[in-house]
Amino acid sequence: MVIKIDCYLSLGCPSEEALRKNIRDALEEENVRADVNISRIDDIKASLLGIKGSPSVYINGKELQPQDIQGFS
């Protein structure tokens, strides 16, 4: 089974490099295959998708760490 990982980052979020490394390391450590998609999105797209934080990570459609925060930054 291949896991689907979708990551959303705001246009100015500096976390992309660390996020990629953490995902790569975790997949390697667990010996798991995944289809990883990382997208940079603006505030409008984040609002339309209901994304509240950056980065936001979804595994098989479920948010990894739901955040009850306001605004996309």
Q: Band of the pLDDT at 71, cuts 50, 70, 90?
A: low
Beta carbons within 10 angstroms of residue 31's beta carbon: 6
Q: Is the pLDDT of residue 61 over 70?
A: yes
CA atoms 42, 46, 47, 48: torsion sign:
positive
CA atoms 70, 67, 10, 14: torsion sign:
positive
Pairwise CA distance, residues 25 & 29, whole Å: 6
Which pLDDT does position 2 carry in this prediction? 85
Question: Residue range 18-45: average pLDDT?
Answer: 96
Mean pLDDT of the chain: 90
- Domains of the chain listed by start with CATH number: 3-63 (3.40.30)
Which pLDDT does position 69 carry in this prediction? 54
Which pLDDT does position 1 carry in this prediction? 73
